[in-house]
Amino acid sequence: MADGLLRMQVAMIGMVLEATERFQTWRRDERGQTSAEYMGMLLVVAAIMAIAIGAASGLGTKVVSLIQQVFEKAVSKITSAG
């Protein structure tokens, strides 16, 4: 009886150690994170360029109006959903 219990305890400890190792490997794995960060930076730069071009070409008020409308719709959907 004690021999079977000892084997079960050793097996459980092995499973816990393996699960811990897998979790630590998963936490260290950040594949794609840098790509997502670069994409975010590119989107910000593109938005700044679009605003600058729009302002220079006289489309600034139209762009601001469109952004304001989109923002207001998003806020109204969020507040009505809650």
- Sorted by sequence, the CB contacts under 8 Å of residue 8 that are 6+ apart come out as none
What does the pLDDT look like over 30-50, one tens digit per residue? 666 677 788 888 888 888 777
Tokens 């975010």 -> residue: 40
Q: What is the pLDDT of residues 11-24, one digit of tens each?
A: 778 888 888 888 77
Secondary structure of residue 1 in the 3-state scheme:
coil
